[in-house]
Structure 1
Amino acid sequence: MARAVPAVERAFDVLELFLDEHELSAPEITAKLGLPRTTVHELVGTLAERGYLTPAGGGSNRFRLGVRGFQLGSAYAERLDLAREGRVVAETVAERCSETVHIGVLDGTDVFYVAKVDSSHPVRMVSAVGKRLPAHCTAVGKVLLAALPRQRLDELYASVRLTAMTDNSITNRRALRRELDTIAADGGVAREYCESNDAVACVAAPVRDQSGEVVAALSISAPILRWNEETEPALRELACEGARLLSERLGHRPAG
């Protein structure tokens, strides 16, 4: 791997702060990153000049993400068939169940959501495309982890602590391994009950590409007030159906 360029890394560190913050001032960026004040001012000025940041207005000396980042993200999405096709399938699935549907991919030990369609109910799960969550806390993540070779799984979590998002989150590597083995034996379908959100349950199924590899997962999430012994099997079946449809759209053809 080529040597990392410190100035470029710092610029990305600044931009990535805005994944969690709508607006930030230069002093706030300085405090969060622990960089010299002059360095931050130079970085922010350069990023603003190139359109990656823009003044928030009102004379507040605060900044928000600029249009250039949106343009790059849009260009990426246009070239990513999974996001485009996933959105189409997610809309179909959401229309049938009226619950929130996500398409997620694995990025290290995190899940990254590339498509989402909201529930039509007034009480719904709050999330967003581009959101990242620890894979071990989500049904989507567990589907994707269960599809990995066990050696790769061990490498991923060799030095990663399993943090808890709720009291129901898995925090033990051995327990996670057992659950992933169960998921793999059950066709790759996973569930989670209040593991990433105290009030939400979810079921997810694997999405395969033309080579047969699991490249994503489709999930259906619902508040636990609408989750019971009758709804869960129906949502599981629908998630599997949606995942099969998306797999077909990506060129997958089941053997036989």
Structure 2
Amino acid sequence: MGRAVPAVTRALDILELFLERPTLSAPEITERLGLPRTTVHELVTTLADRAYLIPVSGQPTRYRLGMRLFQLGSVFADQLDLAHEAREGAQRVAAECDETVHVAVLDGTDVVYIAKVDSTHPVRMVSAVGRRLPAHCTGVGKMLLSGLPPERLDAICPLDGELAGMTARSITSPVRLRAHLEEIRRDGLSYDECESNDAVFCVAAPVYDHTGDMVAGMSISVPSIRWDDRRREEWSGLVRHGAATLSQRLGHRPPPSRDSGAAT
């Protein structure tokens, strides 16, 4: 392992400040990083010369991210493999909980599992990559349905129809499903309480790509004999974190906090 180069580290620190604010001036960068003013001036000048930063129109002393970063990000996005990243993300979560972890995408009214990592317990969920299930009966499927615009949801799940159930606890009413999806949007988590399998509980969280679209869902599936309130809370936090980490791997950046975007 070679040593980190301080000048490169400082240049990257400058660029990463723009994850929190769309524009910054050299004095603001100096204050936030605690670097000498001359060092910041030299680094900002170099980054601007290479189009990693560009002056804000009408405010030449302020800077925003430049086109070179967009070009690099586009190359990165083109090289992403959702299935590969999903498999690695599922492995990380499964290593922490030792339960079955899935990543799935929406295809019409079904979810399709694109990644699965099994639990090592003798009693575990039986499933497979490529398997399809009705989205409204699964935790990960309901999460994905919650991310659809209203017109698309209406197209695949008309209000005047009835949904086929998989167990006695499945949601079969489109009206009830929509009310449930509102709860999922509010909470950012979706649960399957024996709705696709009489003996399995699931908790699911959303996965976003670099455009901010919900492209997949990650779930932890647990036999009912190992599900209780304490573990529900623990696994809810774990799948939320795992899905957020996978989203970051796909280039997603959460929106900045309300007070971080205004220029001063």
Scaled by the length of structure 2, what TM-score is found? 0.65
**Matched residue, 2:208:** 208
Name the structure 1 match of 2:182.
181
Task: Kindly report which structure 2 residues correspond to 1:9-48, keeping only aligned pairs within 5 A, or say none.
Answer: none
Aligned to 1:28: none
CA-to-partner distance for each residue in 1:27-61, whole Å, 9 max, x for gaps? Answer: xxxxxxxxxxxxxxxxxxxxxxxxxxxxxxxxxxx
Amino acid at match of 2:132: R
Corresponding residue of 1:150: 150
Name the counterpart of 1:171.
Answer: 172
Residue 145 of structure 1 and its aligned partner are, at CA, apart by: 0.3
* Alignment-mate amino acid for residue 192 of structure 1: D
Aligned pairs for 1:235-246 (under 5 A) are 235-246=235-246
Residues 4-39 of structure 1 show CA distances to partners (whole Å, capped at 9, x for unaligned) of: xxxxxxxxxxxxxxxxxxxxxxxxxxxxxxxxxxxx
Q: Deviations over 1:105-160 (max 9, x none)?
A: 00000000000000111100000000000000000000000011112101111276
Preserved CA contact (<8 Å) 2:114 2:130: yes
SS of residue paired to 1:230:
helix
Establish whether residue 92 from structure 1 lines up as the match of residue 95 from structure 2: no
Measured in 2, the distance between the counterparts of 1:186 and 1:98 equals: 25
Give the superposition deviation at 1:161. 3.9
Deviation at 1:235, TM superposition (A): 0.4
SS at match of 1:148: coil
Give the aligned partner of residue 114 of structure 2.
114
- Residues 44-85 of structure 1 show CA distances to partners (whole Å, capped at 9, x for unaligned) of xxxxxxxxxxxxxxxxxxxxxxxxxxxxxxxxxxx8711100
Q: Which runs of 5+ in 1 are unaligned?
A: 1-78
CA distance in structure 2 between the aligned counterparts of 1:198 and 1:80, rounded to whole angstroms: 36
- CA distance in 1: counterparts of 2:114 and 2:246, whole angstroms: 13
User: 8 Å contact 2:161–2:174 — kept in the other structure?
Assistant: no
Q: Provide the C-alpha distance between the structure 2 equivalents of 1:160 and 1:134, rounded to a whole number of angstroms.
A: 15
Partner-residue secondary structure (3-state), 2:114: strand
| Structure 2 counterparts to residues 77-88 of structure 1, below 5 A | 81-88=81-88
- 1:192 equivalent in alignment to 2:228: no
Q: CA RMSD in A?
A: 1.2
1:169 partner letter: S
Q: Which residue of 2 aligns with 1:50?
A: none
Name the TM-score, length of structure 1 as normaliser.
Answer: 0.67
User: Are 2:144 and 1:125 aligned?
Assistant: no
Query: Cα deviation per residue 1:206-243 (whole Å; 9 max; x = unaligned)?
Result: 00000111000000000010000100010000000110
Residue 141 (structure 2) aligns with: 141
CA distance in 2, matches of 1:115, 1:81: 12
**In the alignment, which residue of structure 1 is the partner of 2:39?**
none
SS at match of 1:93: helix
Aligned amino acid, residue 230 of structure 1: R
Aligned to 1:3: none
SS at the partner of 2:229? coil
Matched AA of 1:120 = T
Would the alpha carbon gap of residues 199 and 80 (structure 1) be closer, same or farther in structure 2, given more than 3 Å must change?
A: farther
Runs of 4+ in structure 1 off by over 2 angstroms are 158-161
Q: CA separation in 1, counterparts of 2:216 and 2:180?
A: 19
- The whole-number CA distance in structure 1 between the counterparts of 2:157 and 2:190 is 19
Instruction: State the alpha-carbon separation in 2 of the partners of residues 193 and 157 from structure 1.
Output: 21
Q: Which deviations, in whole Å up to 9, do the C-alpha atoms of 1:136-191 show, x marking residues without a partner?
A: 0000000000011112101111276411100000010111010001101112x100
CA–CA distance in structure 2, aligned partners of residues 86 and 118 of structure 1: 14
Residue 238 of structure 1 aligns with an amino acid whose one-letter code is: L
% identity of equivalent residues: 56
